Structure 1
């Protein structure tokens, strides 16, 4: 690979820089005087970080080594992807996921390699491991993958292609599979939970004894930054979590405390919740509420010396405080 000049700071190129994780990662990178933060985005965000160099792209597969995006770039952190779609409209969802998540990712990696990039950090998904750990031990980073849905399958195929590229060329590939990410500004179901709790809505989730791993936004960003230049991270796969697993009941109780609105939870048996969800065509939702999904991050601690900088309660307080500030506007 081509050598980088030593007279300029090395650039970190982030795809998906306008997303939930991407924005937080860019803010962290921009605050480091050693690096230049560069973002590849499909649309310029309304609020841009002054220290970030934003570049527009249309399709990942159209980016080439001569585009100028890779100038002085040492590491690419690839977040952009076609994510899980709640209301799928594609005639062939797997083909569409493959087009973006597999073909686009590998095209980007090849372009980066040709431009002399040293390391490619790929943010994948825990769905590569599977959907649930009910009746089994927590997932580990190096066990055999078992994705079930098109999104998870596409992420696994992208991982496999990147590993093959690394073996053939010497490009250093790091794969990070996060669980559910939460933090200030979180949307979707996590924000819905905060809405319910802040309004004092009684919820039928007071007797759920599952275990689920979550990862705070700041913890995930810290792990990604660690993977940028840690020598032991090269050509490894890591799972990302807070290192403490919670039941749905425990999560709501602790989130309620963070919101300063104690959770009003009714002890409805999870079997009834699952049955009602199945009848309503919401089996996937019941799995997320009542099923277990745990990950083991021992490898992160032993190989990288990495531990989550925030504990769960600190992260929940930061998330809740941001939510409350937004509510007051």
Structure 2
């Protein structure tokens, strides 16, 4: 029976993954920064993740390490302004864990990376693929790329198997950030000026991402590979809002304002990053993931969106 370590176990992805791993493998050790958590005997508390973190207790008898914990919040609008801060956790902390994992005899290290390693947008019919030359732009994406490079070198040096999963935006029950804000906009019924947006963006539901990670735990073909994740269906911002409205069972109210007007307006008020996410395209090709692993996303986009609005009391 495999003993599996999960970092970031109390986070959005970590909570769901911990449940899935416990159901299949039973033996799971969860790492969290929280001191007030249930079932403390199942957890190892790690306050800070950097080059000084000692993972020895967490790694005892572990066969598979799944590293989800990361610094993800943008703290500066200046390009590269907080790169050193991101590096401390996402590069130095990750590589310290991986090196200690190899020394402890961990057989496979699964690293949840980001599609931001590939870049911020795709143009025309181009899709990001797992074998593209990386082109990260912001501090978070750069730090994830540097972590990937360090892990690949470490895997070659030690023989520990490495699996890298680059994920786009993840949505599901309990999602926060921009996606949660979009859900609230839809539920208010206020008209939104996004009815003419015809971009294409890849997303991945929480359930589909968990399914992919679970597949990578013991699939022989996953060893030493980089995979991209998505739902397998790309949506425009307009389509996403309409289908969110359907999932929430509320009317969809979209006004077809020209994209050029939206882009100019958002840029003038200092919201270029938001304009890129709402109006630009970011598509990923999961053909390699599907071919090597025999994996297909188990739930549809519409089911994934519906689950965003399902509460415990309505199950």
TM-score with structure 2 length normalisation? 0.94
The equivalent of 1:97 in structure 2 is: 86
Distance 1:215 1:36 in 2: 27
The equivalent of 1:22 in structure 2 is: 14
The equivalent of 1:115 in structure 2 is: 104
Cα deviation for residue 45 of structure 1 reads 5.2
The equivalent of 1:317 in structure 2 is: 306
Residues 66-215 of structure 1: matches in 2 within 5 Å? Answer: 67-87=56-76, 92-215=81-204
SS at match of 2:27: strand
Q: Does 1:228 align with 2:217?
A: yes
Distance 1:255 1:285 in 2: 19
Size of the aligned set, in residue pairs, is 314
The equivalent of 2:30 in structure 1 is: 39
Pair 17,245 (structure 1): closer, same or farther in 2 beyond 3 Å? same
The equivalent of 1:257 in structure 2 is: 246
SS at match of 1:68: helix
The equivalent of 1:5 in structure 2 is: none
Distance 2:192 2:75 in 1: 23
Cα deviation for residue 62 of structure 1 reads 3.5
Q: Does 1:218 align with 2:207?
A: yes
Q: Relative to structure 2, which stretch is displaced further, 132-141 or 144-153?
A: 132-141
Residues 230-249 of structure 1: matches in 2 within 5 Å? Answer: 230-249=219-238
TM-score with structure 1 length normalisation? 0.91
Cα deviation for residue 86 of structure 1 reads 4.9
SS at match of 1:133: coil
Cα deviation for residue 187 of structure 1 reads 1.1
Cα deviation for residue 71 of structure 1 reads 2.0
Pair 79,42 (structure 1): closer, same or farther in 2 beyond 3 Å? same
Q: Relative to structure 2, which stretch is displaced further, 231-240 or 128-137?
A: 128-137
Q: CA contact under 8 A between 1:36 and 1:52: conserved in structure 2? A: no
Distance 1:89 1:321 in 2: 38
Unaligned runs of 5+ in 2: none
Distance 2:110 2:141 in 1: 18
Distance 1:31 1:95 in 2: 38
Cα deviation for residue 44 of structure 1 reads 3.6
Q: CA contact under 8 A between 1:185 and 1:323: conserved in structure 2? A: no
Cα deviation for residue 199 of structure 1 reads 1.5
Distance 2:41 2:252 in 1: 40
SS at match of 1:120: strand
Q: CA contact under 8 A between 1:94 and 1:151: conserved in structure 2? A: yes
Cα deviation for residue 80 of structure 1 reads 0.7
Pair 89,247 (structure 1): closer, same or farther in 2 beyond 3 Å? closer
